[in-house]
Structure 1
Amino acid sequence: MSKTQDINAGRRQLLKGGMVMAAGLGASMALPATASCDSAPVSFDEIVDVLVVGSGFAGMSAALQARESGVKVMVIDKMPVFGGNSTINGGAMAVAGSPLQKQAGIEDSVDAMVADMLRAGRGMNDVEMLKLVCNGTAESCQWLIDYGVHWKPFVQHFGGHSVQRVLQTVESSGAGIIRPLIKAARDKGVIMKNQTKLEGFVKDDAGRVIGVEVREGFYFPNERTGKIRRIGARHGVIMATGGFGRDIEYRMMQLPELNSDLDSTNHAGATSEALKQMMLIGANPIHLDQIQLGPWASPDEKGFGTASQFNTIATYPHGIVVDVRTGERFFNELADRKARADAIMTRRDEKGQPVYPIGFTNAAGASKAQTLDWGLKYKVISKAETLDELAKIYGMPAKALKAQVERWNEAVKTGVDKEFERPMQEAIVLDKGPWYAVRMWPKVHYCMGGVKVNTQSEVLHLVSNKAIPGLYAAGEATGGIHGASRLGACAVAEGVVTGRNAGRNCAAASAVALKQA
């Protein structure tokens, strides 16, 4: 096999079981017989300086940052709509040292945010990359504002964070970030191509990634659609392709229990083929079995839905969650996501079937929940005038429920939760209705695992642990930053900061001369 061969242009189903590691050992090893290898082209159909694959937080941040350096940038995405999971994300970003924190008198620091993320990650985090992200949040927050992102005028307290440090877009959606970034990118001349699916990488004689092979005019999920073209990248390729939460087959290879019975908050295109393509040229995959479940989701709707935002902004900071069989709390509602999801998943009957817990708060607690009306309309959220009525709706023991609320109110008054040691900064007394409640059950939400990168956002090789020349990655496509569990609102932080880091470093990399057809 010539060094100039495109070693991962395979367009068939690859990487079953042990083949994953065998194929990822590098260009010097023979590929599995099922892999397809095409000769590298001597010319490209189109050439840019920086090519970004993926158009979410990381991709658009990388593209804009690279374009600020004056290089020619292209963004490709396999889906018909740009933005991916980022568009349907809740639009919340953890920022250490934001102006809003200072206005509210909230003391915070980069070190405190690092410590919180390390605690949530069970110490498995890549500390250097973690520090890079936390150090970049305040400056990147202002960078987003400069591009037209608008934050709500208050700071929120998400589970696992020691203080209130979460900012959220006025839209309560990641679209409030993606739309301004896409507009700015287009205004600055970034080339945007949708329905363009990555098929493989093109490498030169020295083993450097110099471009990609794609299918233009691709109609997801029909793998046979589109026309094969090759796009060159003089400075490098940035992979910002997200996670694989919707790829049931591949996620089950990592965690068999995450089968089709478990819904996902991800969009349909959150699959594993881009990750596999990086692994085929030797990228080191880490923490692939660390897959996060969102503890704020509801079984009464598909995908991300309305309950997620309601629970995040209302139930968890201002309410409580109880077991319907006892009417009592059973975990710390402001623990990190893994702790909460694990606790909820234990609520099962004698046959192992889910017994959905109920999260609820009152009108005061739900005052800032923008999805409340939608949740009521679609019967995901229920309204009750009294606790007796609430207990009747969900079949809970009313006496026990009211006793639990009384204990909770006493904890709020003393400022100490003796039952589960929950942080009480935003706790409120639940003394009167109306009450708003939702059934809860986790959904597959985020992949902590991906390819390993260094602090220059260069993808590292499995064997040599050296950078694969010309290949960069950012956002959820990478692994290690979050360890075993990502704290809420840290996906936007990671995506924007690492995306900008990748864009900056890729744009500054030495360019290679390429030929156009």
Structure 2
Amino acid sequence: MTNNNNLVASRRALLKKGAALAAGMGTLMVTGQAQAKANCTPAPQKFDEVFDIIVVGSGFAGMSAAVQAAEEGAKVLVIDKMPVFGGNSTINGGAMAVAGSELQAKEGVNDSIELMVSDMLKSGRGMNDVNMLKLVCNGTSESAKWLESYGTVWKPFVQHFGGHSVPRVLQTRESSGAGIIRPLIKAAEKIGVTMYKQTKLESFIQDDDQRVIGVNVKSQYFFPKERTGSQRTLGARKGVIMATGGFGRDIDFRQMQQPKLTSELDSTNHPGATAGALKQMMLIGANPIHLDQIQLGPWSSPDEKGFGTASQFNTAATYQNGIVVDARTGERFFNELADRKARADAIMTRRDEQGKPVYPIGLTNAKGAAKAQTLAWGMKYDVIKKADTLEQLAKEYGIPADKLKAQVAQWNQFVRDGEDKQFGRPLMQAFELTEGPWYAVRMWPKVHYCMGGVRVNTQSEVLHLVSDKPIAGLYAAGEATGGIHGASRLGACAVAEGVVTGRNAARSAAAASAISLKQA
């Protein structure tokens, strides 16, 4: 009887909350634009400096936008709050998914834009913005060549990353995003782009028509010391492009979206990957989308901080040329070439009776690790271990040796048969693991990428939460936007998205009508 009374009371409380929420939403719909206007800074009579286009952020999207905008003839400024340019992109693995590359043709790989779109839709669980998805996939081949024209050098082979139907991944010679960022920075400086580091976006400046015409910033800002820096106003005659990345290191904000992503879970992101710029866009009405879709990188190791050495080793060696086993059983438990969400979710299930992680072991042999550029460093810091025999490897990690040997033998049979009868892994580039030495690493996911951000249209214009119309003068690209990847981003698609959408935003902003602004 008491339970029934509690249930009735709970229902009444819920109905009251629902009514209050409905009333609040009605108020939001009526006053949303007025509130947004109250949250921006009135236009000054004179700005400290005036440019055609201001790009906020200096990663793949930001630098691609800056160089493209300068190519279009615009006077461009890039600002970044950190003491060095590049953000997460510099420490990224430098891998770009490209549909229809020359390397694919050389290696006889049949691919198409439609197939890449299909793969990304499957990985995204159908939540993707299909129009933006098509825009990105359509632009990959031409953008890869564009990067080459500025000095990016790809490795002379194409790779097969998890979730992709065919090998389509190009990777920089350095196995790092620096192989893209450094040439773009050099190109930007040569073409006349102004670049300010340690310059933090504080708020947007809008005119009476709600058009974004500039930004308030702190110059000489020392992250994360909020009391540092001096205030300046920067004007943008054509627009502001937000290329500010995700919020993987903003623990409070990411927990609001995903409570399980506590401080106990490490991140591959640099310390400046916070939600400050996203919040400023939301304050002037930008529509946030998919903020709770936060990706865990399934190739990380608990034996090092951040991106580390294991990430590149696992991407280039373990997942493509090896297997991953449960340390307790010596047996595989998932498809090593599934999409990132599927792999991360599978790894996160490896726990003991108290719920503590039981770290899976990723392993391959010398042939499989031949293209892993971080192998030596990983071994130096004892993240990657070497063993001459499978028995030695099993002893190192406490794996039942007989079970591990049986699993490797079974894998080799799958390769010979041309079919993975355990998990359906594609075997196009697979080979038998017949002899040592062997290399292995403990694995556990880390917070890596935010699929969510602000909603944009195919002109990269940021859309308003209430009206669904573009916020005049405001554009966004790369990880700052949401919807393209849906529930899970495929590996190597961050570079593709960043470069293609950065250039797209630049073209749109450069084509916009310029307004007259005064400089002090």
Closer, same or farther in 2 for the Cα pair 1:418/1:90, shift >3 Å? same
**Pairs within 5 Å for 1:137-148:** 137-148=140-151
Checking the alignment, whether the CA contact within 8 Å between 1:25 and 1:282 is kept in structure 2 is: no
Q: For the residues of structure 1 that align with 2:28 and 2:441, how far apart are their CA atoms?
A: 46
Closer, same or farther in 2 for the Cα pair 1:222/1:321, shift >3 Å? same
| Corresponding residue for residue 19 of structure 2 | none
Closer, same or farther in 2 for the Cα pair 1:96/1:26, shift >3 Å? farther
Q: For the residues of structure 2 that align with 1:496 and 1:53, how far apart are their CA atoms?
A: 15
Aligned-partner residue type, residue 146 of structure 2: W
Aligned-partner residue type, residue 60 of structure 1: M
| Corresponding residue for residue 7 of structure 2 | none
| Corresponding residue for residue 13 of structure 2 | none
Checking the alignment, whether the CA contact within 8 Å between 2:363 and 2:441 is kept in structure 1 is: yes
Matched, 1:28 2:36: no
Q: For the residues of structure 2 that align with 1:121 and 1:86, how far apart are their CA atoms?
A: 22
Q: For the residues of structure 2 that align with 1:334 and 1:66, how far apart are their CA atoms?
A: 37
| Corresponding residue for residue 462 of structure 1 | 465
**Pairs within 5 Å for 1:109-258:** 109-258=112-261
Return the index of the structure with the highest Cα Rg: 2
Checking the alignment, whether the CA contact within 8 Å between 1:246 and 1:267 is kept in structure 2 is: yes
| Corresponding residue for residue 288 of structure 2 | 285
Q: CA deviation at 1:63?
A: 0.5
Aligned-partner residue type, residue 198 of structure 2: Q
Q: CA deviation at 1:426?
A: 1.5
Give the counterpart of 1:408 among 397, 407, 411: 411
Matched, 1:425 2:416: no
| Corresponding residue for residue 17 of structure 1 | none
Q: CA deviation at 1:107?
A: 0.3
Instruction: Name the SS for the 2:488 alignment partner.
Output: coil
Q: For the residues of structure 1 that align with 2:151 and 2:510, how far apart are their CA atoms?
A: 24
Unaligned runs of 5+ in 2: 1-23
| Corresponding residue for residue 363 of structure 1 | 366
Across the aligned residues of Structure 1 and Structure 2, the Cα RMSD in angstroms comes to: 1.6
| Corresponding residue for residue 333 of structure 2 | 330
Closer, same or farther in 2 for the Cα pair 1:38/1:133, shift >3 Å? closer
Checking the alignment, whether the CA contact within 8 Å between 1:23 and 1:279 is kept in structure 2 is: no
Q: For the residues of structure 2 that align with 1:426 and 1:36, how far apart are their CA atoms?
A: 54
| Corresponding residue for residue 5 of structure 1 | none
Checking the alignment, whether the CA contact within 8 Å between 2:94 and 2:171 is kept in structure 1 is: yes
Q: CA deviation at 1:28?
A: 3.0
Checking the alignment, whether the CA contact within 8 Å between 2:82 and 2:197 is kept in structure 1 is: yes
Aligned-partner residue type, residue 461 of structure 1: H
Give the counterpart of 1:485 among 484, 488, 492: 488
| Corresponding residue for residue 262 of structure 2 | 259
Q: For the residues of structure 1 that align with 2:202 and 2:367, how far apart are their CA atoms?
A: 51
| Corresponding residue for residue 508 of structure 1 | 511
Checking the alignment, whether the CA contact within 8 Å between 1:382 and 1:437 is kept in structure 2 is: yes
Q: For the residues of structure 2 that align with 1:471 and 1:30, how far apart are their CA atoms?
A: 18
Aligned-partner residue type, residue 178 of structure 2: A
Q: Alignment identity in percent?
A: 74
Checking the alignment, whether the CA contact within 8 Å between 1:243 and 1:271 is kept in structure 2 is: yes
Q: For the residues of structure 1 that align with 2:292 and 2:268, how far apart are their CA atoms?
A: 18
Relative to its length, the structure with more helix (as a share) is 2
Closer, same or farther in 2 for the Cα pair 1:125/1:189, shift >3 Å? same
Q: For the residues of structure 2 that align with 1:23 and 1:387, how far apart are their CA atoms?
A: 63
Closer, same or farther in 2 for the Cα pair 1:352/1:72, shift >3 Å? same
Unaligned runs of 5+ in 1: 1-19
Q: For the residues of structure 1 that align with 2:66 and 2:272, how far apart are their CA atoms?
A: 20
| Corresponding residue for residue 10 of structure 2 | none
Q: CA deviation at 1:39?
A: 3.8
Instruction: Name the SS for the 1:329 alignment partner.
Output: coil
Instruction: Name the SS for the 1:238 alignment partner.
Output: strand
Instruction: Name the SS for the 2:233 alignment partner.
Output: strand
Checking the alignment, whether the CA contact within 8 Å between 1:244 and 1:447 is kept in structure 2 is: yes
Q: CA deviation digits over 1:261-308, x for unaligned, max 9?
A: 000000000000000000000000000000000000000000000000
Checking the alignment, whether the CA contact within 8 Å between 1:95 and 1:137 is kept in structure 2 is: yes
Q: CA deviation digits over 1:62-110, x for unaligned, max 9?
A: 0111100111000000000000000000000000000000000100000
Q: For the residues of structure 2 that align with 1:90 and 1:162, how far apart are their CA atoms?
A: 20
Q: For the residues of structure 2 that align with 1:261 and 1:507, how far apart are their CA atoms?
A: 44
Q: For the residues of structure 2 that align with 1:133 and 1:28, how far apart are their CA atoms?
A: 31
Q: CA deviation at 1:516?
A: 1.1
Q: CA deviation at 1:27?
A: 5.6
Aligned-partner residue type, residue 265 of structure 1: T
Closer, same or farther in 2 for the Cα pair 1:183/1:37, shift >3 Å? closer
Checking the alignment, whether the CA contact within 8 Å between 1:475 and 1:498 is kept in structure 2 is: yes
Q: Number of residue pairs matched?
A: 497
Instruction: Name the SS for the 1:505 alignment partner.
Output: helix
Checking the alignment, whether the CA contact within 8 Å between 1:78 and 1:220 is kept in structure 2 is: yes
Q: CA deviation digits over 1:188-217, x for unaligned, max 9?
A: 000000000000000001110000000000
Checking the alignment, whether the CA contact within 8 Å between 1:26 and 1:282 is kept in structure 2 is: no
Give the counterpart of 2:390 among 387, 412, 415: 387
TM-score, normalised via structure 2 length: 0.94
**Pairs within 5 Å for 1:49-60:** 49-60=52-63
| Corresponding residue for residue 13 of structure 1 | none
Q: For the residues of structure 1 that align with 2:233 and 2:90, how far apart are their CA atoms?
A: 28
Checking the alignment, whether the CA contact within 8 Å between 1:27 and 1:281 is kept in structure 2 is: no
TM-score, normalised via structure 1 length: 0.94
Aligned-partner residue type, residue 327 of structure 2: V
| Corresponding residue for residue 323 of structure 2 | 320
| Corresponding residue for residue 71 of structure 1 | 74
